[in-house]
Amino acid sequence: MRRKIVVGNWKMNKNYWQAVELIESLLAYTETRDLKGLEVLIAPAYPFLHYAYQSTKDTKVQVVAQDISAYESGAYTGEVSADMIRSTGVQTVIIGHSERRKYHGEGAQLLGEKIDSALANHLEVIYCMGETLAARRAKAQFEVAKKQLMDVLRPLNRDQMQQICIAYEPVWAIGTGETATAEQAQEMHRYIRQLIADRFDPETAARVPLLYGGSLRPENAALLCAQPDVDGGLMGGAALRAEQFIGVIEAWLTQIPSPAKRGCRSSPGMD
Ligand code: 13P
């Protein structure tokens, strides 16, 4: 079975005390809940990564960084390197978020360098991609997806691809309250998986977790996660309130068979 992952991207929200409170609420919930293998990740801002990592160590919550520098080290004021992130204990980083592309002008060349730096420092990557409203209106969403994906994935080898998750986040759905329909998400996720299969091979493509992001809420999560190629979610707004985050997790759990049902395999090794 492919990994199932729910990520809360806090963006530039929460001060230290608010971060402590939210983490404590999530831990209180996950401690007693059978998550059926669903991975729960949070991405707080840089100053709280070390605290977040330490306070979630040996729990069911994992911590992710929101970005890294493409540079390894040196005179780059304000930048945070992959090595610095890794030394906090954090093992995963988001790269290519549409807000980095839009507000910081990040493009294929830089994002490729960031991915190289992450992989060289043993960080798993959640690579974000997605079309703007104008691109969707022009029916160019598949063309955009292909370019955003292939520009950065083409140079990778199969082993490196195992360290990558893809998050499809249509820009028009981020923070707008407008969500892609389950059909739109599935259609794009299937396309992304096919691109990965064409570039690498079907087995590699079958293993890559594909997450959906864009106004994901407890109310729309069940339908989205029921799609065969939607393996998880990357949420912003809903991740800032424990009850909403938990609502999305609960919706996802309804789609994961319980261990008893999973045990119905007729012979060992069949999946
Ligand atoms: P919203 O869930 O607030 O739309 O944000 C999505 C997102 O950008 C997650 O990275």
Residue to substitute in 5, 7, 11 for testing ligand 1 pocket (most ligand atoms within 8 angstroms of CB): 11
How many A from CA of 236 to the centre of ligand 1?
Answer: 4
Pocket around ligand 1: residues whose beta carbon is below 6 Å from it? 9, 97, 169, 174-175, 213-216, 234-238
Active site residue 97: yes
- Give 146-162 pLDDT, tens digit per residue: 999 999 999 999 999 99
How many A from CA of 214 to the centre of ligand 1?
Answer: 5
- Give 229-258 pLDDT, tens digit per residue: 999 999 999 999 999 999 999 999 998 887
What whole-number distance in Å separates Cα of residue 148 and Cα of residue 153? 9
**Of ligand 1's atoms, which has the minimum distance to the CA of residue 238?**
2
Judged against a pLDDT cut of 50, whether residue 135 lies above it is answered with yes
| Distance spanning both ends of the chain, measured CA to CA | 7
- Give 192-230 pLDDT, tens digit per residue: 999 999 999 999 999 999 999 999 999 999 999 999 999
Judged against a pLDDT cut of 90, whether residue 49 lies above it is answered with yes
How many A from CA of 265 to the centre of ligand 1?
Answer: 37
| 5-258, CATH topology level | TIM Barrel (3.20.20)
Confidence (pLDDT) at 255 = 87
Grade residue 262 by pLDDT with cuts at 50, 70 and 90.
very low
Question: Choosing from 72, 97, 131, 219, which is the catalytic residue?
Answer: 97
Q: Which residue has the higher pLDDT, 213 or 175?
A: 213
What whole-number distance in Å separates Cα of residue 145 and Cα of residue 147? 5
DSSP-assigned states of every residue in 92-143: EEEE--HHHHHHH---HHHHHHHHHHHHHTT-EEEEEE---HHHHHTT-HHH
